[in-house]
């Protein structure tokens, strides 16, 4: 009788479990639809630039909801931009150098430098709706999330093995077919891990993007960032604690419902011929794969659409075989490039003339102060990168090599990366002041907190992307630890590591605007540095100094990238490929 009871119980569980999965999926879809209606109602309401922030914990769920929407809308825009920009830079030889140089400049520009122009443009587009202010905040978060994803996708495209590209050419894949069946799957691991750090960076800058001054007006949006900033400025550490607890809960739930299923799903895209014994698992992904609702949606919508899409591409390829490009078409394309270049040159000259007129207002002493601050910030940035590399490389390799360790440490790393260090910076400053450390050195700590996660998550992605057969060969031939690191690990993670260091450098420069200039209980704490001067210029609407500081920062970052990072990038593309 006991085996029969066990069998019947097992059958009951097998019948009940899919029902709860389908019910959960249906509830999630319904909740998503309701959330869209709620956001649309709020965004298209009348504009309220300075919303009162209530510090009662009962307001936290609504504030957290608004912040989640802003961060993930910005992430969706960042992902689309990264794929389009990285693809163009990787395959357009004429524009590649220009696009990568532009990306270097954009990632080095602090969020506050985008703030006045972005907000004024969005508010002028939607002057009477909340949508203008919301889109301004979303675009500011976008500027903190997008650059490392674009670098990651570009690096992945440049690292695709030649035999895979040749297979696509033999199969006569179209560009879209190659994108969906080769390039996006090959870049999936790097994109997912950089998505994690991008969203974490969005949480990091949330306090700046939801509560900020533009000229004489202080904009304040309802959200978790403005809640934390208001609580910190008023010294309400109980409210700060509630806000941080809410943020930690959101990060943990996001990890379990989104990132861990994506990481487990992307594991099938590893470039290897021998399957690894240990795989990343996700109960949520398992539940979705066994959901009848999801299976029905896939069978009746996604599968027919994908079949129609690829059949139409194949039919178009059959009817219109590739032909040698005509001289007339080449001339037409060249004429288009020349026309676009002339228009862009005219716009650059016009903007440059306005910038020169604005820079005339800067006194010579202010200019030398900016240069001195740039030198000090440069030293702090490099110190932060050095300290970050010392611990992120070994820890990232350990997490990437051991799925069980990844299951434990990945959520902790996400929480730490997303943790708004600016909310804890008063405590850090007080602790450093007690031991006699000035803000000039203490600002390195906050830069370290902002930069280290780019390196860590890229190293994890690189370690997970190393083929299993290479690890097994190292074990079979009994490589020592030094041999394993020099022949397998460091060459395997090298392209990802360079991407992490470049984006970490940009993140450290960005963090200088809050690390060197901090407001606490009505007092402004600052040290000599380029980030402090940019923040002070933004607060006092001194657009001439803001423009000059931004130009100096961009010039320094581009120079470093040209002299250091670009040669290392070329080395990663030519020597350390999985060919």
**Pair (340, 429) in one structural domain:** no
- Does residue 179 lie in a domain region? yes
Phi/psi for 54 (5° steps) reads -95, 135
- Does residue 34 lie in a domain region? no
Entry pTM:
0.74
Q: Is the dihedral of CA 234, 236, 240, 243 positive or negative?
A: negative
What pLDDT shows up at residue 387? Answer: 92
**Site of tokens 């996708």:** 153
**Pair (475, 485) in one structural domain:** yes
How many CB atoms lie under 10 A from the CB of residue 240? 23
pLDDT tens figures, 143-157: 878 888 898 899 888
CATH code, domain carrying 376: 1.10.3720.10
**Pair (121, 151) in one structural domain:** yes
Half-sphere exposure of 323 (CA within 13 A, CB side): 6
**Pair (423, 306) in one structural domain:** no
From CA 242, how far away is CA 61, in angstroms rounded?
Answer: 11
- Does residue 50 lie in a domain region? no
**Pair (356, 425) in one structural domain:** no
- Does residue 29 lie in a domain region? no
What pLDDT shows up at residue 223? Answer: 85
- Does residue 180 lie in a domain region? yes
Give the residue ranges of the chain where pLDDT is below 50: 1-5, 7, 9-14
pLDDT tens figures, 321-369: 655 555 555 565 566 667 766 776 676 666 666 666 666 777 778 788 8
From CA 260, how far away is CA 408, in angstroms rounded?
Answer: 11
What pLDDT shows up at residue 286? Answer: 73
**Pair (300, 439) in one structural domain:** no
**Pair (255, 150) in one structural domain:** yes
Burial of residue 181, with CB atoms counted within 10 A of its CB: 0-12 exposed, 13-18 middle, 19 or more buried: middle
Q: Can you give 332-390 as a three-state secondary structure string? A: HHHHHHHHHHHHHHHHHHHHHHHHHHHHCCCCHHHHHHHHHHHHHHHHHHHHHHHHHHH
With contact defined as beta carbons under 8 Å apart, do 551 and 419 qualify? Answer: no
pLDDT tens figures, 155-199: 888 888 888 888 888 877 878 888 888 899 988 888 988 888 888
- Does residue 30 lie in a domain region? no
> What's the structural domain count of the chain?
3
- Does residue 23 lie in a domain region? no
From CA 347, how far away is CA 362, in angstroms rounded?
Answer: 24
How many CB atoms lie under 10 A from the CB of residue 23? 12
Give the residue from 75, 157, 232 showing the smallest Cα distance to 499. 157
**Pair (317, 333) in one structural domain:** no
With contact defined as beta carbons under 8 Å apart, do 225 and 60 qualify? Answer: no
**Pair (126, 217) in one structural domain:** yes
What pLDDT shows up at residue 383? Answer: 92
**Pair (470, 395) in one structural domain:** yes
What pLDDT shows up at residue 478? Answer: 81
With contact defined as beta carbons under 8 Å apart, do 461 and 401 qualify? Answer: no
Element at 212 (helix H, strand E): strand 211-214
**Pair (390, 296) in one structural domain:** no
Element at 141 (helix H, strand E): helix 130-158
- Domain residues for the domain of 95 are 64-278+362-574
From CA 259, how far away is CA 271, in angstroms rounded?
Answer: 21
- Does residue 84 lie in a domain region? yes
Q: Can you give 485-499 as a three-state secondary structure string? A: HHHHHHHHHHHHHHH
User: In sequence order, what are the beta bridge partners of 218?
Assistant: 213
**Pair (343, 223) in one structural domain:** no
Last residue of a domain, one of 264, 299, 322: 322
User: In sequence order, what are the beta bridge partners of 129?
Assistant: 46
């Amino acid at each position: 009788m006991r085996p029969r009871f066990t069998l019947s119980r097992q059958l009951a569980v097998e019948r009940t479990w899919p029902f709860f999965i389908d019910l959960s999926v249906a509830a999630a879809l319904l909740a998503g639809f309701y959330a869209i209606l709620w956001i649309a109602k709020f965004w298209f309401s009348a504009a309220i630039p300075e919303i009162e922030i209530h510090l009662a914990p009962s307001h936290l769920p609504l504030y957290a909801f608004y912040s989640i929407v802003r961060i993930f809308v910005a992430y969706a825009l960042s992902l689309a931009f990264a794929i389009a920009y990285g693809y163009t830079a990787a395959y357009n030889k004429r524009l590649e150098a220009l696009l990568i140089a532009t990306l270097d400049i954009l990632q080095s520009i602090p969020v506050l430098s985008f703030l006045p122009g972005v907000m004024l443009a969005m508010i002028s587009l939607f002057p009477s709706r909340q949508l203008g202010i919301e889109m301004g905040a979303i675009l500011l978060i976008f500027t903190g999330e997008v650059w490392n994803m674009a670098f990651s996708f570009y690096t992945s495209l440049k690292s695709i093995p030649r035999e895979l590209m040749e297979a696509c050419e033999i199969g006569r894949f179209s560009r879209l077919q190659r994108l969906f069946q080769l390039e996006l799957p090959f870049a999936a691991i790097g994109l997912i891990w950089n998505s994690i750090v991008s969203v974490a960076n969005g949480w990091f800058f949330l306090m700046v993007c939801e509560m900020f001054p533009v000229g004489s007006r202080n904009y304040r949006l309802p959200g978790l960032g403005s809640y934390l900033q208001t609580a910190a400025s008023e010294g309400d550490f109980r409210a700060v604690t509630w806000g941080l607890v809410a943020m930690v809960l959101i990060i943990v739930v996001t990890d379990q419902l989104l990132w861990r299923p994506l990481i487990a799903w992307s594991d099938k895209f590893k470039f290897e011929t021998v399957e690894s014994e240990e795989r990343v698992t996700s109960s949520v992904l398992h539940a979705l794969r066994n959901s009848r609702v999801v299976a029905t949606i896939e069978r009746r919508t996604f599968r027919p659409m994908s079949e129609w899409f690829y059949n139409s591409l194949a039919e178009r390829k059959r009817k219109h075989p590739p032909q040698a490009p005509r001289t007339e078409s080449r001339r037409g394309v060249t004429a288009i490039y020349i026309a676009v270049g002339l228009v862009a040159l005219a716009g650059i000259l016009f903007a440059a003339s306005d910038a020169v007129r604005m820079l005339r207002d800067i006194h010579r002493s202010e200019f030398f102060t900016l240069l001195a601050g740039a030198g000090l910030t440069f030293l702090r940035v490099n110190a932060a990168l050095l300290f970050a590399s010392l611990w992120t490389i070994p820890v990232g390799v350990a997490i990437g090599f051991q799925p069980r360790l990844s299951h434990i440490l990945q959520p902790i790393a996400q929480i730490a990366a997303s943790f708004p260090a600016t909310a804890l910076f008063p405590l850090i400053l007080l602790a450093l002041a007690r031991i006699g450390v000035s803000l000039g050195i203490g600002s390195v700590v906050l830069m370290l907190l902002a930069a280290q996660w780019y390196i860590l998550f890229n190293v994890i992605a690189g370690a997970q992307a190393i083929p299993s057969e290479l690890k097994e060969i190292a074990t079979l031939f009994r490589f020592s630890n030094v041999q394993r690191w020099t022949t397998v690990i460091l060459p395997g993670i090298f392209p990802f590591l360079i991407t992490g260091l470049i984006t970490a450098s940009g993140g450290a420069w960005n963090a200088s605007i809050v690390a060197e200039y901090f407001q606490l209980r009505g007092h402004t704490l600052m040290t000599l540095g380029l980030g402090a001067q940019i923040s002070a210029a933004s607060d006092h609407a001194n657009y001439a100094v803001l423009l000059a500081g931004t130009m100096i920062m961009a010039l320094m970052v581009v120079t470093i990238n040209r002299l250091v990072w670009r040669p290392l990038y070329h080395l990663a593309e030519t020597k350390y490929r999985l060919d």
